[in-house]
Amino acid sequence: MNLRQIETFEAVMRCGTASRAAEVLGVTQPAVSRTLGELEQSIGFPLFARIRKRLIATPEARSLYEVVKSAFDGIDVIRGAAARIRDQGSGEVRVASLSAVGHSLMPKAIAIFQKRHPSTRITLLVLPSRDVRDLIASGEFDLGLAADLIDTTNVVHETFLARDALCVLPAGHELSSKAVIAPMDLDGVPFIAYLPEDRFRQRVDAVLTAAGAVPKIAVETALAPTALALVSAGVGATLASPHAISGFDQSKIVVRPFRPGVEARVLLLLPSDRPKSQLVRDFIDALMAAR
């Protein structure tokens, strides 16, 4: 017994005649008859009585057909699932993001993605970059965006964003009259800094130190939205990436270019132990379109 014989038997039972089954299968009627004969020899009992050049199904054939039909129904289910996976992916995308883009760029990307995949469920967690990296390295999440301060061992990574930071001031700040902020403008000025281990903080410190500027550190924080909220409350100035600022209420802040430039970088992370699904590829395309 082989699959071709079973397919022929199923077609004859479904179509009612050998000639119609031959048309469906794209073979000749003699080929159908020959294949049925081979199947009968294989299983050891007759499936059809040949009466007046017609094939009449035996009771044994009808019993066998019930089993075959169930099997073919299962194959149809598999085909349908394969088609859905081809067209829509596995049905879920799990994304983790640092806060600097998790409240600004990421919602735009999700909106773009859902226009193409409206039925796909998305899980989004906004976390510190180290936690984003851990979720991707463990394979629990499909992709992530993180600051470049992380350990990139055991993750696939590439630069997703690299933009010069902007200076953010409280509304009405004395420096808001300047078109461009320089390092010495921040000398002695209350300043919201990131944590010392943050690579962006280290790049900012290097630029300030080279110019001889020493801001008055008012608060150290790990997250850009927190730094911006502190600026909005009048606590001090800060430097932040354009993508972090774009998702923030700018009614109580003033944004100015900062020279020389200090680059803020975001990495795209993927698990290292599995290929990208079509859904993940499409989500990455949405992220690129949202930049």
Whether residues 153 and 207 share a domain: the answer is: no
**Which pLDDT tens digit goes with each residue over 154-171?**
999 999 999 999 999 999
Rounded Cα gap, residues 143 and 67, in angstroms: 44
Q: Can you spell out the DSSP letters for the chain?
A: --HHHHHHHHHHHHHSSHHHHHHHHTS-HHHHHHHHHHHHHHHTS--EEEETTEEEE-HHHHHHHHHHHHHHHHHHHHHHHHHHHHHHTTSEEEEEE-HHHHTTHHHHHHHHHHHH-TT-EEEEEE--HHHHHHHHHTTSSSEEEEETTS--TTEEEEEEEEEE-EEEEETT-GGGG-SSB-GGGGTT-EEEEE-TT-HHHHHHHHHHHHHT---EEEEEES-HHHHHHHHHTTS-BEEE-HHHHHTS--TTEEEEEBSS--EEEEEEEEESSSPPPHHHHHHHHHHHHH-
Whether residues 252 and 178 share a domain: the answer is: yes
**Which pLDDT tens digit goes with each residue over 109-155?**
999 999 999 989 999 999 999 999 999 999 999 999 999 888 899 99
User: What pLDDT sits at residue 89?
Assistant: 54
Whether residues 156 and 190 share a domain: the answer is: no
Whether residues 102 and 153 share a domain: the answer is: yes
**Which pLDDT tens digit goes with each residue over 231-278?**
999 999 999 999 899 878 889 999 999 999 999 999 999 999 888 888
Whether residues 154 and 270 share a domain: the answer is: yes
Whether residues 280 and 251 share a domain: the answer is: no
Whether residues 173 and 257 share a domain: the answer is: yes
Whether residues 129 and 202 share a domain: the answer is: no
CATH of the domain at 12: 1.10.10.10
Domain edge (last residue) among 44, 61, 88: 88
Whether residues 14 and 157 share a domain: the answer is: no
Number of structural domains the chain divides into? 3
How does residue 53 score in pLDDT terms, banded at 50, 70 and 90? confident
Domain edge (last residue) among 88, 115, 134: 88
Whether residues 142 and 283 share a domain: the answer is: yes
Whether residues 118 and 177 share a domain: the answer is: no
Whether residues 155 and 209 share a domain: the answer is: no
Domain edge (last residue) among 59, 88, 117: 88
CATH of the domain at 112: 3.40.190.10
| pTM: predicted TM-score of the whole model, two decimal places | 0.67
**Which pLDDT tens digit goes with each residue over 31-49?**
998 999 999 899 999 998 8
Range of the domain at 199: 166-261
